[in-house]
């Protein structure tokens, strides 16, 4: 008891001193005055200049124009730099080797945050640099929510507290977070008793709980936010192109005899065409790939990136309340664990392991199991955490960097770094999604100075600048979409949140359903609100491959890998109408997207984990499943063929296309040869029994087929008895 009391006293004392210190810093910190959001509000808002050019027009511009500034990398940082540079009046190009947000920027936790944990450190260690980082991030959090309110929203997050003396400790800490945010606080944090915490988060394990604190951070659709930044940049005049990679840097001697970068060698990854682009300045915003560009500048340069991978999993929505996340900032082994509602599902994570830099990071079974095991600790026993509930899993690479400006190049920078090389390559790396705009501002400031550029506006213009879709958006805008277009309410809400005021342009492209209601908007998957028109509109937003569409224009691959696989044929059909894909190209797109889902979105690890399950069925169950299998395998070949399935579906009155039948078979047929063997079926049923798989359409079909078969047998039996009875 005495030691508990001691902890309270020490905790109370430290937090009070911390609060005093932070309060002092808050009132006196010069840095706070550097973000004059008010001044920005007083400025005449910048008007977007033009409609979106097509990708062909963007490529033509890259082939014929010369630029003030070329930015390499179309993630959050690069897109932010492009928007900053173009709104200052610089002639800007943004070049992305794959798709916008195809790297780390679509694979984040989707939080827009100041960093509660960093604030704790800042206070405990009297660390002013850390404090400034948090303050900057809290400013940026407010700026992002203002700039794209359709793509970002405040999210209440619960911190469970397990010992009573931690309650005041956490409470003061979280109040400090609100306090440091000042006028940028999203909503005030509050304390909850154990009873109220369990009422709000019923799936939380209550036995050890003492209470909880709820605080607010932002949450976003990261890939669409990234795209919105890039599209806003292009509307303001920047030339932006995805699927174009930088393969080398060009140099020349300037008037002072110094060798400086004067252009980039590029390759269109879709056509294979190569050319050069002249420019006065180059910004390297390639995240984890930063060293590959630095080496193009100077092959001898010391590497600064120490990549680390972070895996997330998507679980069904019932793992968390729809409007409340959960975060434990200090698990027993010092990691952060969270699960957050996102787009009607739950995302949980994350891991932190050193890795190699790659364009296609893959989640591993160990990482997925680690997250599941952690999640289990927080949920009450009613919520059975099952491997089969993992709907999707992905890995992102943190671009952790050391600062080449500092003599100690070993230790990692806490924040981002901006470095200008001897030949004027400006590198921006590290940091976090939340601070992309401030990072871009610093990088463009450095570029203007190093390359002696003369922008029309010397000062950054992006703080508070509205992004694509934000101008006419209101939270109730979706009602007009329902009333004016006859869209289903859930679809209208989804369009409004994904496209902002551009949702009207999307709705105009929607096909008639042929039904009385909804009038327009054919869903591309029955379980999700994505509609046909989004595929057509996605092409106008520069989606050039099926992967661009399922992973970043729509977020289906991140939400449910199986649903993404099922929607793929329809998506490819619509894309091929827009992009005039040949049959061969359609097949290729299907293959590449399937590989993406298998490798990068966890489909293969899900399968491999299922196949490791030992057959755990009882004798009776095995007999039942053999019976069901034989009903479908009518001619007793020993396997079920596509034709058997077709016949069975027909008898059940279901009409499926060949593609749909292949999909139905693919979630069970491990060999992918179109033949399903009894062993595969028993394996699947074992996986369902042990919770490794939640649902299999084939298993359901077999069950229905058996019920039908039983009914028919009964009818036959009755008619025989009746005829025998001779009424
Ligand atoms: C697991 C995880 C969770 C995270 N969660 C959060 C969070 O919740 N909140 C937060 O604020 N931050 C978070 N972050 C951090 C944040 O996601 C990153 O800091 C940010 O996305 C990095 O963006 P970037 O543009 O620097 O890099 P990237 O998004 O990786 O972009 C770099 C781009 O450069 C392109 N490129 C590479 N080479 C070339 C070339 N030669 N030519 C042209 N293009 C090239 C790549 O294709 C890529 O698209 C998280 C990070 C991870 C890993």
Pocket test for ligand 1, best of 99, 104, 353, 600 (most atoms within 8 A of CB): 104
The mean-pLDDT minimum among 490-499, 568-577, 653-662, 679-688 falls in: 653-662
CB 124 within 8 A of CB 293: no
- Ligand 1 centroid, distance to 326 Cα (angstroms): 24
**What beta strand segments (E) does 63-165 contain?**
67-72, 92-95, 111-112, 152-161
Ligand 1: which residue has its CA nearest to atom 31?
Answer: 75
- What is the pLDDT averaged over residues 477-501? 98
Which pLDDT score is estimated for 47? 66
Bridge partners of 265, per DSSP, are: 248, 276
DSSP alpha helix (H) spans, 92-201? 116-124, 128-147, 166-181, 194-200
CB 473 within 8 A of CB 149: yes
- What is the pLDDT averaged over residues 532-553? 98
- Ligand 1 centroid, distance to 78 Cα (angstroms): 9
Q: What are phi and psi of 12, to 5 degrees?
A: -60, -45
CB 431 within 8 A of CB 77: yes
Which pLDDT score is estimated for 727? 38
- Give the pLDDT confidence of 378-421 residue by residue, as tens digits: 999 888 888 889 999 999 999 899 988 887 656 677 789 999 99
From the CA of 244, give the closest atom in ligand 1.
Answer: 43
Which pLDDT score is estimated for 6? 40
Ligand 1: which residue has its CA nearest to atom 48?
Answer: 103
Residue 10 reports pLDDT greater than 60: no
Q: What are phi and psi of 278, to 5 degrees?
A: -75, 140
Which pLDDT score is estimated for 551? 98
Closest CA to 86 of 196, 229, 185, 298: 229
Q: What's the whole-model pTM score?
A: 0.86
Which pLDDT score is estimated for 625? 87
Which pLDDT score is estimated for 666? 65
Which pLDDT score is estimated for 670? 54
Pairing of strands 639-640, 676-677: antiparallel
Coil, helix or strand at residue 175: helix
Model confidence band, residue 718 (pLDDT cutoffs 50, 70, 90): low
What CA–CA distance (Å, rounded) separates 706 from 683?
A: 19
From the CA of 312, give the closest atom in ligand 1.
Answer: 1
- What is the pLDDT averaged over residues 262-289? 98
Pairing of strands 259-268, 111-112: unpaired
Ligand 1: which residue has its CA nearest to atom 41?
Answer: 246
- Would you say the CB of residue 570 lies under 6 angstroms from ligand 1? no
- Would you say the CB of residue 97 lies under 6 angstroms from ligand 1? yes
What CA–CA distance (Å, rounded) separates 660 from 295?
A: 47
- Give the pLDDT confidence of 640-671 residue by residue, as tens digits: 887 888 888 888 888 777 767 777 776 665 55
From the CA of 293, give the closest atom in ligand 1.
Answer: 41
- Would you say the CB of residue 263 lies under 6 angstroms from ligand 1? no
From the CA of 77, give the closest atom in ligand 1.
Answer: 25
- Would you say the CB of residue 463 lies under 6 angstroms from ligand 1? no
Residue 271 reports pLDDT greater than 90: yes
* DSSP string across 428-497: EEES-GGGHHHHHHHHHHHHHHHTT---S-SS---TTPPPTT-TT--TTHHHHHHHHH---HHHHHHHHH
- Give the pLDDT confidence of 229-243 residue by residue, as tens digits: 999 999 999 999 999
- Would you say the CB of residue 367 lies under 6 angstroms from ligand 1? no
- Give the pLDDT confidence of 322-359 residue by residue, as tens digits: 999 999 876 666 778 899 999 999 999 988 888 999 99
CA 513-514-517 angle, 5° bins: 70
Residue 515 reports pLDDT greater than 50: yes
What CA–CA distance (Å, rounded) separates 539 from 179?
A: 44
Domains of the chain: 66-106+224-304+413-450 (3.50.50.60), 148-221+307-402 (3.30.9.10), 477-607 (1.10.8.870), 614-717 (1.10.238.10)
Residue 5 reports pLDDT greater than 80: no
Pocket test for ligand 1, best of 290, 432, 439 (most atoms within 8 A of CB): 432
What CA–CA distance (Å, rounded) separates 705 from 710?
A: 9
Pocket test for ligand 1, best of 267, 289, 425 (most atoms within 8 A of CB): 289
- Would you say the CB of residue 219 lies under 6 angstroms from ligand 1? no
Higher confidence at residue 457 or residue 618? 457
């Amino acid at each position: 008891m005495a030691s508990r009391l001691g902890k309270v006293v020490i905790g109370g004392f430290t937090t009070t001193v911390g609060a005093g210190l932070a309060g002092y810093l808050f009132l006196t910190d010069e840095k706070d005055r550097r973000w004059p959001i008010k001044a920005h509000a007083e400025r005449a808002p910048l008007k977007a200049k033009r409609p979106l050019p097509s990708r062909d027009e963007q490529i033509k511009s890259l082939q014929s124009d010369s630029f003030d500034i070329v930015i390499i990398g179309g993630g959050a940082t690069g897109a932010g730099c492009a928007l900053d540079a173009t709104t200052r009046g610089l002639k800007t190009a943004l070049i992305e080797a794959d798709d916008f947000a195809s790297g780390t920027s679509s694979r984040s936790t989707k939080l827009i945050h100041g960093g509660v944990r960093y604030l704790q450190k800042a206070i405990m260690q009297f660390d002013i640099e850390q404090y400034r980082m948090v303050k900057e991030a809290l400013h940026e959090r407010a700026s992002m929510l203002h700039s794209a309110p359709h793509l970002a929203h405040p999210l209440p997050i619960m911190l469970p507290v397990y010992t009573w003396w931690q309650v005041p400790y956490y409470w003061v800490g979280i109040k400090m977070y609100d306090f440091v945010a000042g006028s940028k606080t999203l909503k005030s944090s509050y304390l909850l008793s154990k009873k109220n915490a369990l009422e709000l988060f019923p799936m939380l394990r209550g036995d050890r709980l003492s209470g909880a604190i709820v605080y607010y951070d932002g949450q976003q659709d990261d890939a669409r936010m990234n795209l919105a930044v890039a599209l806003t940049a292009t509307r303001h005049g920047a030339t932006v192109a995805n699927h174009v990679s930088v393969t080398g840097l060009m140099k020349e001697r300037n008037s002072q005899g110094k060798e400086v970068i004067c252009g980039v060698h590029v390759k269109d990854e879709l056509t294979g065409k190569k050319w050069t682009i002249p420019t006065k300045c180059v910004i390297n915003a390639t995240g984890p790939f930063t060293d590959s560009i630095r080496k193009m500048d100077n092959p001898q340069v010391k590497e600064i990136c120490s990549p680390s991978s972070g895996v997330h999993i998507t679980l069904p929505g019932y793992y968390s309340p729809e409007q409340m996340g959960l975060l434990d900032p200090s698990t027993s082994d010092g990691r952060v664990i969270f699960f957050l509602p996102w787009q009607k599902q739950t995302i949980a994570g994350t891991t932190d392991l050193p890795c190699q830099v790659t364009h296609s990071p893959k989640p591993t079974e160990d990482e997925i199991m680690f997250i599941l095991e952690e999640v289990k600790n927080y949920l009450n026993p009613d919520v059975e955490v099952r491997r089969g509930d993992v709907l999707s899993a992905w890995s992102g690479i943190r671009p952790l960097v050391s600062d080449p400006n500092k003599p100690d190049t070993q230790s990692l920078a806490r924040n981002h770094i901006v470095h200008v090389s001897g030949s004027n390559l400006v590198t921006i790396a590290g940091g976090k999604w939340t601070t992309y705009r401030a990072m871009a501002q610093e990088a463009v400031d450095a570029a203007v100075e190093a390359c002696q550029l003369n922008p029309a506006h010397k000062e950054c213009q992006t703080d508070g600048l509205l992004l694509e879709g934000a101008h006419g958006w209101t939270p109730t805008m979706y009602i007009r979409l329902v009333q004016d277009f006859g869209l289903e309410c859930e679809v209208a809400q989804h369009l409004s949140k994904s496209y902002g005021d551009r949702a009207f342009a999307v709705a105009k492209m929607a096909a008639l359903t042929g039904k009385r209601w909804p009038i327009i908007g054919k869903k591309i998957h029955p379980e999700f609100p994505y509609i046909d028109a989004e595929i057509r509109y996605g092409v106008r937003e520069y989606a050039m491959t099926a992967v661009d569409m399922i992973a970043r224009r729509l977020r289906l691959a991140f939400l449910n890998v199986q649903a993404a696989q099922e929607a793929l044929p329809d998506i490819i059909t619509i894309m091929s109408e827009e992009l005039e894909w040949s049959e061969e190209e359609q097949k290729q797109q299907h293959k590449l997207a399937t590989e993406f889902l298998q490798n990068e979105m966890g489909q293969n690890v899900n399968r491999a984990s299922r196949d490791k399950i030992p057959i755990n069925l009882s004798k009776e169950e095995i007999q039942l499943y053999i019976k069901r299998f034989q009903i479908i395998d009518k001619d007793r070949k020993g396997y079920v063929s596509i034709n058997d399935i077709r016949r069975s579906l027909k008898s059940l009155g279901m009409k499926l296309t060949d593609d749909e039948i292949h999909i139905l078979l693919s979630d069970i047929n491990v060999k992918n040869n179109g033949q399903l063997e009894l062993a595969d079926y028993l394996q699947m049923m074992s996986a369902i029994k042990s919770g490794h798989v939640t649902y299999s359409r084939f298993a359901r079909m077999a069950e229905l087929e058996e019920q039908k078969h039983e009914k028919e047998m009964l009818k036959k039996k009755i008619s025989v008895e009746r005829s025998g009875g001779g009424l």
